[in-house]
Structure 1
Amino acid sequence: MTATGTVLVLSLLGAPPASSSDPLCANREPCRVVETLEGGKDAQGRALQVKRLDLGWADVETWSQSAGRRFGPGGRKAQGSRAEGQCEAAEWWLLRPSQPAQLLLAVCNDGYGAAGVGEDSVTVVDNYFTHEQSGGSRERWSHARTLQLSPLRLTSENRRSSDALASEGGESGESWDYQTLRGDVVVAAPTCKPGESSPGERTLPYLPQVKVEPAYLQGGWKQAGLGECGFSSGHFLLGNQDDPKDASLKALLVAPDTLLVEVRDDKWTGPSAKWLNDDHVELWLAPQAPQELTGCGKPTDAQKPSQWGIRIADGQVFPAFGSPKQPLQVERAELPGKQGYVLKLKLPTPFKGISVVYSDSDSGKKQELMLATSLVKFGRPETLNPVRVVPPEEATCAVKNGQLSVVQGSPLKSEPDVAVLRNP
């Protein structure tokens, strides 16, 4: 797969755009097609193309009032200057057989910040269009989005910002993949008071909340696993895993107060007199979003998380850190073929931070392996997972071949002259 694309910077636009005979430039002087990129093929095997138009200079104030739409036939000049309140205008259009040309993106680069270093970078690969915009002054930022061309869908988004004068650990932002329902929040290292310990830069994976079919929520969860919708534990809090079949953990919020947890293991232990030595799930909930906490010093009483233990063998609940008084309702079902268990937990609300841990004890004498959905530290709310609520129009989850699968929302619709990707 070969990537093609362009970066718009002032030095590339020194010459005024000449008029073009391309239909996209009809009655739109100044206008020039400066690049035609091959976009692969649609589902029917028909070729796709993306054309970039150079439209000269536009008035920033006029542009801001109609941002996201096709530049009009007037109000632009072949030459201009940012010092005079003008910006460099460009458009990218998708050409598809038997359909009108579709505006993908319209930008007007005024430097995107006091430093005047802003850029627009576009890359086109087989059926995908990626736009990255960057700018700022001391506070530098970037925003990248990838669009599937056929059918039109936003597939990923990434935002980052950083202090140009900061040392390491000064980046923050978030990313999200709309196809896999995965993403994270990056929190810059905070400046703590003297005597307070700093957590440093943190990367917090989102735990998604996704709508599922009513039948699955009512009873289907007892027969079908979480599949690709389940968020797999990616962190080891204790021990290591030589054999991936030894143990696994998946979690998925299916409602604001309902969590499904899938645990698989090759050997089960418990129940015993000490639940910590039995195979069990640990649930952490916190009242504030972890990305909004600095993590400096000790958490306040209003920030402290609560912890519960749920034994796999019988589903019994044990209040743990914080001695939570709220009830935790648990339903438990064995997966077909005795491959593991699914727990349906009715959670106390509200909460904004959550993490799920599986503690595996093959010997039944101590905790030997701990898998978690985040790098949770005992009693530290800033280390939990933030929740990402997935709107149904973006995606839902439904059973396919005995497992939950991601169901993408309807393709994006836009008038031909209205950009599919609006300005950040």
Structure 2
Amino acid sequence: MFRWLAFAAVTVLATRALAADLTPDQQSAICGARKTCKTTTADAGQGPGNVKLTIVDAHFDVADKPEEAPEEGCLGDPEATDAPERDGGREIWLIAGSAAPKRILALCNDGYGSAGMGEDMIEVTPNMITWDQSGGSAWRWVTTKQIRLAPLAVVKEFDCSFNNTAPGTGVATEIDRTTLQARSVGSASGHKFSDDDEIGCPDWPDGPDATLPTGPIYAGGYAVPMPKAGPDDDGLGYPEGTALGDCARELTTDGLHGFLVHGKPVDAGAAIVRVTKESEASLLIQVFDPTAAAELKSGKAKSWVGQPHLEIWVSEMANPEDNDGPNGETYVFRQFAIGLDGTTYPGVNAFATLPTVTHWAARDEAGRDVTVYRVKWEGDDRPSFGIGVVYSQAKDGKQARMVSNAQINKNKPLYLPDAWANAPEDQGIPSGSCALTAEKRLDVVKN
């Protein structure tokens, strides 16, 4: 079953009772010298301190279109009665109590892609607006953002993209913008879609106790974040000696973080692994395993498989037009392993040239001794889609338990989520923050 990944979104005034009329000063602050400005208001409940919140939806004719808009203007609202085919866009403003109006969204629908089917929809609820935006070409996309009004912040985001000519290509991602962690759902390996299957986005697991799907049609995973994505990324990565903070995806063998894909969880002696995509061609993986040194010293393992080690899976998209990848699958998977000394080992369908691995000792925010591995690809062998990281904790020369950001079944991923690039919200609305390293915090957006 497919659907657009979006809340039930309708125009502002259909969701809330009309708020009080604007004062002349408020009208002037919003419209300025734009003579075609038409405003409607909606009650948005109350913010902290019982401050009354009002949303103002301002619409403009082509004469007052933004400077960067197409010459013919923006696409009109297809949901509005008697709306013109072209207009000057719209703006969403917030009035909090007696404070001056604050513009939070400026929208001009230029089609949002070559298909020309872009659309914006806004829903107002108490202390929140939900903004759905869609567009694309052969590859369609939908983004839904929940924006808290007071204090102003994006608190949750849903993204989906799919090929409009091929079933099974839909990928949905949920981002918690307060913690900057993301989960993703896509087609499960081994499931072959037919031309009769619907095209669109996979359903998202709803409800407070919702779990990610495990197949056979769809599967979920925890996305590896790329925290430095965006205009402030200098492209230089992190200096050697860095210990990762909570911007990374954390995996633990106590069963609390990630998928325990082999063995039983352990309380005492649990391993803690953190993963960050440093750049388009490199990963940083931090390992704390209090049992590893003694296990390696024992020499009981017959090969690296029985030693504590990392396994990396990457995926490439096969031909999405007709789903004719190997064995009829959508994705091609490649695997290699890394010993704790940094030695690499080829795995399933590995690249001919494995990435280079360097490592250093560091100390995390809790004072624990950790090792950080830099995994760097060269040329065209860099990951082009999904990334899976597995840590194998050993005992008595055998694999005791394995934890991963992806579900692994019979030494094959069900689905590998793409890394999540943590770019600032393009309208400048604040988001969360996280510890980029063990010592420095990352302010994703400055308001």
Query: C-alpha separation between the residues in 2 aligned to 1:258 and 1:48?
Result: 48
2:238 is paired with a residue whose SS is helix
Asked if 1:265 is matched to 2:301, the reply is no
Separation (CA, whole Å) in 2 of partners of 1:38 and 1:291: 49
Distance 1:408 1:187 in 2: 27
Instruction: Sort the Cα spacing of 1:46 and 1:255 in 2 relative to 1 into closer, same or farther, 3 A.
Output: farther
> What is the alpha-carbon distance in structure 1 between the residues aligned to residue 160 and residue 107 of structure 2?
19
Contact map agreement 2:158 2:172 (CA 8 A) in 1 = yes
Deviations 1:68-90 (A, max 9, x none): 99xxxxxx9xxx83598699x98
1:243 aligns with 267
Residues 207-253 of structure 1 show CA distances to partners (whole Å, capped at 9, x for unaligned) of: 222338999822232xx3x2211102311211231427522322111
Q: Counterpart of 2:444 in structure 1: which amino acid?
A: Q
Instruction: Give the residue type in structure 2 aligned to 1:104.
Output: I
- TM-superposed CA distance for 1:263, in Å, is 2.1
Match of 1:157 in 2: 157
Deviations 1:72-121 (A, max 9, x none): xxxx9xxx83598699x986421258864123347899xxxxxxxx9642
Alpha carbons of structure 1 residues 181 and 290: separation in structure 2 relative to 1, 3 Å: farther
**CA deviation profile, 1:327-358 (whole Å, cap 9, x unmatched):** 43231426465554322223344222321100
Q: Which residue of 2 aligns with 1:229?
A: 247
2:307 aligned residue: 278
TM superposition shift of 1:54: 8.6
SS of match in other structure, 2:395 = coil
1:375 aligns with 2:393: no
* Alignment equivalent of 2:349, drawn from 317, 322, 327: 322
Rate the CA distance shift 1:155–1:285 in 2: closer, same or farther, 3 A.
same
The answer to whether the Cα contact below 8 Å between 2:272 and 2:287 also exists between their aligned partners in 1 is: yes
Match of 1:206 among 220, 223, 238: 223
Counterpart residue type for residue 387 of structure 2: I
Relative to 1, partners in 2 of residues 1:90 and 1:284: Cα closer, same or farther, differing over 3 Å? closer
Structure 1-normalised TM-score? 0.64
Q: Which residue of structure 1 aligns with residue 5 of structure 2?
A: none
Which residue in 2 is equivalent to 1:37?
44
Opposite residue 304 of structure 2, the aligned amino acid is W
C-alpha deviation, 1:275, in angstroms: 1.0
In structure 1, what is the equivalent of residue 396 of structure 2? 363
User: Quick one: distance in 1 between partners of 2:423 and 2:21?
Assistant: 44
Q: Distance in 1 between matches of 2:322 and 2:410?
A: 16
Residue 101 of structure 1 corresponds to which residue in structure 2?
101
On the 8 A contact 1:293/1:382 being kept in 2, the answer is no
Counterpart in 2 of 1:419? none
The alpha-carbon deviation at position 369 of structure 1 amounts to 0.8
Q: Report the CA distance between 1:34 and its aligned residue.
A: 4.8
Q: Cα deviation per residue 1:1-55 (whole Å; 9 max; x = unaligned)?
A: xxxxx9648978999x9986564456989967653334525xxx89573334597
- Cα-to-partner distance string for 1:242-297 (whole Å, 9 max, x where unaligned): 427522322111122332212233422225431111111111233x2599699877
Q: Is the 8 A contact 2:406 2:414 kept in 1?
A: no
The answer (yes or no) to whether the contact 2:58–2:92 under 8 Å persists in 1 is no
CA 1:308 to 1:335, structure 2 compared with 1: closer, same or farther past 3 Å? farther
Distance 1:227 1:294 in 2: 42
- Pairs within 5 Å for 1:87-166: 92-95=92-95, 100-105=100-105, 120-125=122-127, 129-132=129-132, 143-149=143-149, 153-159=153-159
Q: How large is the RMSD of aligned CA atoms in angstroms?
A: 5.5
Which 5+ residue runs of structure 1 have no aligned equivalent? 1-5, 70-75, 110-117, 163-168, 412-424
Q: What SS class does the counterpart of residue 246 from structure 2 fall into?
A: helix
Amino acid at match of 1:320: G
Given the two structures, how large is their TM-score scaled by the length of structure 2?
A: 0.61
Distance in 2, Cα, partners of 1:191 & 1:302:
9
Q: 1:67-86 alignment to 2 at 5 Å? A: 81-82=81-82
**1:102 and 1:68 mapped to 2: Cα distance?**
21
CA, structure 1 residues 159+304, in 2 after alignment: closer, same or farther (shift >3 Å)? closer
Contact conserved, 2:12 with 2:57, CA < 8 A, in 1?
no
Query: Is the alpha carbon distance of 1:90 and 1:384 closer, same or farther for their aligned partners in structure 2, counting shifts above 3 Å?
Result: closer
Identity among equivalent positions (%) equals 23
The structure-2 alpha-carbon separation of the partners of 1:360 and 1:304, relative to structure 1 and needing over 3 Å to count, comes to: same
Structure-2 change in CA distance of 1:105 and 1:341 (3 Å): closer
2:440 aligned with 1:409? no
Q: 1:354 aligns with which of 375, 384, 387?
A: 387
CA distance in 1, matches of 2:240, 2:141: 46
Quote the residue 2:200 is aligned against: none
Cα distance in 2 for residues equivalent to 1:48 and 1:18? 11
Out of 27, 49, 53, the residue aligned to residue 53 of structure 2 is 49
- Mapping of 1:18-29 within 5 angstroms? 23-25=25-27
SS in 2 for 1:276: helix
User: Structure 2: any 5+ residue segments left out of the alignment?
Assistant: 1-8, 70-75, 110-119, 163-167, 197-214, 252-257, 426-430
Distance in 2 separating the partners of 1:21 and 1:215: 51
Aligned-partner Cα distance in 2 for 1:249–1:290: 30
Tell me if the contact between 1:185 and 1:291 (Cα under 8 Å) persists in the aligned partners: no
Distance 1:321-1:408 versus aligned 2 partners, 3 A rule:
same
Alpha-carbon distance in structure 2 between the residues aligned to 1:396 and 1:292: 36
- The one-letter code of the counterpart of 1:408 is V
> Helix, strand or coil for the counterpart of 2:42?
strand
1:359–1:120 Cα change, 3 Å:
same
**If you compute each CA radius of gyration, which structure gives the higher value, 1 or 2?**
1
